[in-house]
Amino acid sequence: MRIEIWADVVCAWAYIGKRRLEKALADLAPTDAGAEVVWRPFRIDPTTPDQAVPLEEARRDPLVDAALRQCAPGLSPDENQVRVSRIAADEGLGRRWGAAWRASSHDAHRLLFLAREHDGAALQNEVAEQVLKAHFVDGDDISDRRCLKVVALRSGFAEGAELLDTDAGDREVRELLLIGKARGIATSPTIVVGDRALAGAQPPEAIAAFLARAEPGREMPQEVRRLRWAESLLDQRDPLGALTLLKPLLRAHPDDLNVRRAAARGYFHSAQLSRALDVLEPLVDDVPDDSYARLLLGRTLQRLGRAKQAAPHLKVAAAMTPEFA
């Protein structure tokens, strides 16, 4: 069974969730002794600057303070830190606890991705442990590559220390962040098995119950899954993210009608009107009874100032699908 943990390594609940998952798996053994735990990236604060800021200083920023208050309604950031520290101690994470930096986790996620690519889930899990320990126990700045290189060496991943100075894993991590968004991941951590998800650092017994009921999920070609993720991002009004996920499909399946429709939506809604037109005109020629493609073509021509050319397409689209009128 593959267990995905979608989490941000600067999220205290990710570390607590890791311990609770480990306890749940220990309780389920030996039935799930072969479980593979895979870490996936999530960003709880995409606005974090590349250069880390001491957390005490960051808390003086009203926007950061407001975000921290949203994490624990009814508690001040200091009260919430005390609460989380007590929970972390109960989970065996030590009495000395608490992040010292508001740090970007992007390079840490790269290191995690590269660890799994290099030597599988066990190495990745060890890197995750060492990154979380560095951030929450040692008070290190994990946005600093020098710190991450020490983490890599400590984890037995010397190659990772060298790869950090390249762009290795950057594209893949950014794509995984989009996939997580497309799949509806909105909480760190979220445990996913197949098509089912458990949000939050739930108690070990809740995680164990979730895993006991988990199923691998429906088998689906990777191309179909990627197309659905792209369509999900379009529905979430993220056309640029959708186009990023569509790139491999446009290369491998340029004639597929569903891929072309999704690309047309992405180009139109990201105001890339010339590209939208390049896709829509041949699409309407190939599928003249596609009312939505005609609607999109008409609106694209309108935005380009070509109202006379747009009118026939809009009229046909409305005749075929009245709600398009």
Per-residue model confidence as pLDDT tens digits over 174-192: 999 999 999 999 999 999 9
- Whether residue 226 sits in one domain with residue 194: no
Same domain, 17 and 80: yes
Judgement on whether residues 159 and 260 belong to the same structural domain of the protein: no
**Between residues 132 and 60, which one has the greater pLDDT?**
132
Which range has the top average pLDDT, 29-38, 97-106, 305-314?
Answer: 305-314
Handedness of CA 229, 235, 236, 238 (dihedral sign): positive
**CA distances to 250, 288, 297, 316 from 311, in Å:** 29, 15, 10, 9
- Same domain as 178, residue 140: yes
281/64 Cα distance (integer angstroms): 47
CATH number, domain at 70?
A: 3.40.30.10
**CATH no. for residue 230?**
1.25.40.10
CA 317 to CA 293: how far, in whole Å? 8
Are 151 and 52 within one domain?
yes
Q: In terms of domains, do 173 and 235 share one? A: no
Residues 142 and 229 in one domain: no
Residues 108 and 240 in one domain: no
- Name the band, by pLDDT with cuts 50, 70 and 90, for residue 59: confident
- 29 pLDDT above the threshold of 90: no
Domain boundary at 213, 233, 259, which?
213
Question: Angle, to 10 degrees, between the axis of helix 291-303 and the axis of helix 273-286?
Answer: 150
- Do 117 and 231 belong together in one domain? no
Q: Which of 179, 213, 247 is the last residue of a domain?
A: 213
Q: For the chain, what is the domain count?
A: 2
On the question of pLDDT at 320 being above 80, the answer is yes
SS3 call for 299: helix
For the cut 60, the answer to whether the pLDDT of residue 21 exceeds it is yes
Do residue 183 and residue 85 come from a single domain? yes
Q: Last residue of a domain, which of 213, 240, 265?
A: 213
User: Model-level pTM greater than 0.85?
Assistant: yes
| Residue numbers of the domain that contains 79 | 2-213
What DSSP assignment string belongs to 160-176? HHHHTTTTTTHHHHHHH
Q: What is the pLDDT of residues 67-116, one digit of tens each?
A: 666 666 666 767 777 888 889 888 988 777 789 999 999 999 999 999 99
Query: 182 and 270: one domain?
Result: no
Residues 318, 300, single domain; the answer is yes
